[in-house]
Amino acid sequence: MATSVKQLMEAANAAVPKITPAQAKEMIAKGNTLVVDVRDSAEVEKSGKVAGAVNVSRGMLEFRADPDSPYHDKSFDKGKTVIVYCASGGRSALSGKVLKDFGFNDVHNLGAFKDWAESGGAVEK
């Protein structure tokens, strides 16, 4: 069955709730939260990332999240709250949906990094 980017985005946005920077700050403050930056490393080098975030480019997400993958990152724990973000919110929505499909239950889309930075969220370079 053929699908389109529009359909993929609609499914992702329906599965993964969008949160504000203020909501993300509250979740991070509670602890047991994994923040994932799915931008490419060149993007992160230019702007920095959310303090404490793990940078996993969108193309490697499945490999890092799957515990059976030789590329698994132990930061990906299904018991954690997961917050994903990118440059505009599209890649993070798709990433959040993939993580939900992988069995991560508490996944949220922060959307655009610039919104976090402009809200005064902690950034590390």
pLDDT digits 0-9 by tens, 29-38: 999 999 999 9
With cut-offs at 50, 70 and 90, classify the pLDDT of residue 44: very high
- pLDDT value of position 3: 86
Mean pLDDT of 46-64: 97
CA separation for the pair 92, 102 (Å, rounded): 15
State the pTM of this model. 0.95
CATH number listed for the domain at residues 5-124:
3.40.250.10
Q: What is the separation, in whole angstroms, between the first and last Cα of the chain?
A: 43
Spatial CA neighbour of 72 closest among 80, 82, 83, 61: 61
3-state secondary structure of 11: helix
CA 94 to chain centre: 9
